[in-house]
A and B are shown apart, each in its own frame.
Chain A
Amino acid sequence: MAREFQRGHKAKISDLTAGTDLYVGVQISAPGLTFDISCFGLDASERLSDDRYFIFFNQPKSPEESIQLLGAQAGDTESFRVTLDRIPQQIQRLSFTATIDGAGQMSQVASGYIRVVAGGEEVARYAFSGAEFSTERAVMLGDFYLKDVWRFAAIGQGFDGGLDALLKNFGGEVAEEEPAPAQPQAAVPSFAPPAQASAPPAFGAPAAAPAPAPAPVPAPAQNFAPPSPAPAQNFPPPPGATPPPAPADPAVYAAQTIVAPVNQPPYGQQPQPPQYGQVPGQQHAPGQSAPPPPGYGQPPQAPMPPGYGQQPPSGQFPGQPQAPHGAPQGAAPQGAGVAAALQKYREAPTGQRWTQQNEKLIRVDLGVADQPILARQGSMVLYQGKVEFGYKGAGFAGRVVGNATGQEMQLMRCSGRGQVFLAEEGTHLHPIELQGDAICVSAENVLAFDETLQHEVRRIEGHGIPGGALFVMQFQGTGTVIVKTHGVPVVLPVTPTTFADCHAVVAWSAAAQAIVSSQVRMRSNAYAGSTGESVNLQFRGAPGNFIVVQPYEV
């Protein structure tokens, strides 16, 4: 049930889909034109403050992989995978843009769209045509932006400059195109000429003086990359398989977001030490075939999209646009072997106190902020470092909840220095960061929280609730609570008629410094009898409050 957007339309993502793992497809059909489609991760002031969140063909994913470029598939010219709940806080807006590569203007576009797909279903589509544009050379197609919640807006705004102007607009650095005398002629013949006729013209005349047009194509850098011996190429192809031609690996991670290849290796002269796991020599001209990265069982690559030869391998199966396992990996596969196969499951880089490793696993670094945490007993799956686990005596939640319901809510106190990984039975985990506000969480959905948070246990009584009462923990202060849900939860705004099953409700906002009891009221026997839904909670609150419900009744 795709919703058709017009230019300027906006909607909450939560109204479109309950999921936060989205596939964004962009399709532009314009005969003779090629497009660079990229995604800018912008901060609150709409600046590209962190270059690593400029997702384009040369940087196909953000550091924590919340935004990934997937390449052409399923009829889309370019596609992205966006995991909204993993996007770091400082990124407040994702702007999807298309820029013409080479000559042309947007009015030549026949038709195009940007669409959002969640769970295999298209939920939003904004279609446009060249008639809406004139001489622009770039267009901002649509934005995801964070205003309380993530929203999607169809922008459709043209832009006169190319990719570099767009980058400047967002405050990114545009490196000036360097004169190219350093390009040795000798490097050229060592590579077969690119097979695609539509390859950027920069290939043709490498010795030409500085390219006047700011062709935003770092492709030359890749194709003239030092032809150093490739240590990882000697692996035998997997048995019983015909090796598909592998595209060049998109592993060139420039330190800065640059359009022109300034910091690239001086073409063919001094191979730079590999950065970010990049294996020298794994960059191939598009026309060459290479043994596949054997560590990944990837299907044969989709035909390379025209324009640039180094699309990331679209290791996606058709119809499964969200499969993260097949997602291209930025770090070059080091070849076959355990390390390569498991590369995608590597630990996320450290830094923050709470890090979501994946949707079911949270890492807490106790060294950051040096505060102990309280976690449900048995939720630790792994730890490193000098961590002490203490039995958190009952006395607070444990005793109350345990005695009353027979279900022990026992906590352990993790202190010291080191990293602790928390997970429980494959439930989805959601870090909720409180900054002075308050939230109520059903006691059995609490996984862990900062000890600095004030917490108290509340009982919600009502006949019909097993055990006599529902236990709720109210958290207040500054810190993080990890809430676990079975399945992907739904967040509902509180309206005068918001009801939830007391077994399925996970959490609700306690409004800013409000008291929960005034908002929550038992409505026993609301739908008594026939439906079997005898106990419901009704929520009352000012607009802006929300409740979280999981698709699972304990």
Chain B
Amino acid sequence: MNQQLAGYAPAPVAARMENHGHHMVKVAMQTGNDLLARVGSMVAYEGFVQYEPNPPAVRQVAREWMTGEGAPLMKCSGDGLLYLADYGADVVVINLAGDSLSVNGTNLLAFDASLQWGVERVKGLAKFAGQGLWNIKISGQGWVALTSRGTPIVVDCGRGEDETYVDPDALIAWSPNLKVKGKRSFKAGSLIGRGSGEAYQMGFSGEGIVVVQPSEDSTDRLRARG
């Protein structure tokens, strides 16, 4: 039995965050280098890691959070190895190294607490009644883990002179310097997804990238679990 399972043993640590397979991220925790992760995303840990749901610092920043129930983030601190996953979604690990990124809230899995971050609301877009599209802008020196339902794709916006339009349910992240605007429908008489809630698109223009997942399922599974 051990032989078959041996292949799934974790690889030695080489970085703050690493993929273990497609669907799991392994975070090397150290004291003084805290991590903010989605509540409920922890699947395993090794060592001494402590969790503090909805810490005051987060509450401060995330006052804008749409639901008013408090931010679905927990602060993880301590020493050890922490494994995070989101219901089998693909996990993408990014070392920001000074770059910045806007991430759709449901697609954010974890990030270093030392990063600068803030909650923004995409203006003009109310995806569903009572649940706006909120996103988190992250920048600084550190690591971010995103989730994607299926292998994501990165599209360069600056390639064409035309704008890039994205289904908001499929959107994962984008460069913050892009100009974003909501778009209701395309032209009179042509409706996309008539009555299916997909009449909104988000248009991006400028130089930068947009990351999109191959699924329009934006259900927040971690939150739905309650």
Contact = CB atoms under 8 A, between A and B. Distances in A.
Interface of A: 74, 120, 235-236, 238-244, 292, 294-295, 297-300, 317-320, 323-326, 335-343, 345-347, 357-361, 377-378, 380-386, 388-391, 410, 412, 418, 421, 423-426
Interface stretch (B60-68, B124-132, B148-156): B148-156
Given A238-B143, A241-B16, A323-B19, 7 more contacts: A297-B18, A337-B99, A381-B216, A384-B155, A384-B159, A421-B155, A426-B150
Given A384-B164, A388-B186, A345 B153 contact: yes
Identify the interface centre among B7, B191, B192, B212: most chain A CB within 10 Å of its CB. B192
B99 A339 contact: yes
B11 interface: yes
B30 A239 contact: yes
A347 B153 contact: yes
Contacts of B215: 360, 381, 423-426
A318 B90 CA distance: 19
B97 A382 contact: no
Contacts of A319: 6-9
B150 A361 contact: yes
Interface string B189-200: 111111010100
Closest 8 CB pairs of A and B: A319-B7, A336-B97, A423-B214, A297-B18, A299-B11, A381-B170, A341-B94, A360-B214
Identify the interface centre among B15, B28, B142: most chain A CB within 10 Å of its CB. B15
B217 interface: yes
A339 B209 contact: yes
A388 B187 contact: yes
Chain B at the A interface: SS class = loop
Given A346-B154, A380-B167, A426-B149, A300 B14 contact: yes
Nearest to A343: B154
B194 A391 contact: yes
A382 to B, nearest CB: 5
A323 B91 CA distance: 13
Interface in B92-114: 92-101
B7 A345 contact: no
A242 B99 CA distance: 23
Contact of B211 (A335, A337, A342, A423): A342
A345 B11 contact: no
B165 interface: yes
Nearest to B25: A297
A389 B187 CA distance: 9
Chain A at the B interface: SS class = loop
B156 A358 contact: no
Nearest to B100: A338
Interface residues of B, number: 71
Interface string B38-75: 00000000000000000000000000000000000000
Contacts of A298: 14-15, 18
Contacts of A343: 154
B94 A342 contact: yes
A381 B7 contact: no
B121 interface: no
Contact of B22 (A292, A297, A325, A389): A325
Contacts of A294: 15, 95, 97
B214 A381 contact: yes
20 contacts: A238-B95, A238-B143, A317-B21, A323-B21, A336-B96, A337-B99, A343-B154, A345-B92, A345-B152, A377-B198, A378-B196, A381-B215, A382-B155, A386-B162, A388-B186, A390-B190, A412-B193, A418-B160, A421-B155, A423-B213
B226 interface: no
B9 A318 contact: yes
B166 A382 contact: yes
Interface in B199-221: 209-217
Contacts of B156: 346-347
B89 to A, nearest CB: 9
Given A336-B97, A382-B164, A320 B7 contact: yes
B77 interface: no
Contacts of B13: 240-241
Contacts of A423: 150, 170, 213-216
Contact of A337 (B92, B95, B155, B160): B95
Nearest to B202: A382
A320 B214 contact: no
Contacts of A381: 166-167, 170, 212-216
Contacts of B82: none
Given A337-B95, A377-B193, A426-B149, A358 B187 contact: no
B153 A421 contact: yes
Nearest to A418: B162
Contacts of B101: 338
Contacts of A391: 189-192, 194
Contacts of B153: 345-347, 357-358, 361, 382, 421
Contacts of A380: 167, 192
Contacts of B22: 323-325
B184 to A, nearest CB: 13
A61 to B, nearest CB: 16
A299 B167 contact: no
A389 B214 contact: no
